[in-house]
């Protein structure tokens, strides 16, 4: 039952990302998106936001690096 695939659209940093996932993994994906958004916002605050010359892509990259390390 949890093996069926469905389309889940996650919003990360204001952008929508459609993903085809197993229904059994839905909550893990939702939790991950929430953690990613939290971390992006922490970096944005720590580095002065868009006024710092950094872009949304910079904050996303910093979050990805931290997640993988």
How confident is the model over 16-61, as pLDDT tens digits?
999 999 999 999 999 999 999 999 999 999 998 777 889 999 999 9
pTM score of the predicted model: 0.86
- Asked if the model's pLDDT at residue 1 lies above 60, the reply is no
Q: What is the 3-state secondary structure (H, E, C) of 5-55?
A: EEEEEEEECCEEEEEEEEHHHHHHHHHHHHHHHHHHHHHHHHCCHHHHCCC
How confident is the model over 4-20, as pLDDT tens digits?
899 999 999 999 999 99
The rounded distance, in Å, linking the Cα atoms of 37 and 4 is: 27
**Looking at residue 40, what is its pLDDT?**
96
The rounded distance, in Å, linking the Cα atoms of 36 and 30 is: 10
The rounded distance, in Å, linking the Cα atoms of 4 and 27 is: 14
């Amino acid at each position: 039952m949890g093996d069926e695939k469905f389309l889940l659209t996650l919003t990360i940093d204001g952008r929508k990302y459609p993903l085809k996932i197993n229904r059994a993994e839905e909550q893990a994906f939702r939790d991950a998106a929430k953690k990613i958004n939290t971390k992006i916002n922490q970096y944005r605050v720590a580095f002065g936001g868009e006024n710092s010359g950094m872009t949304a892509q910079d904050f996303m990259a910093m979050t990805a690096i931290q997640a993988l390390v």
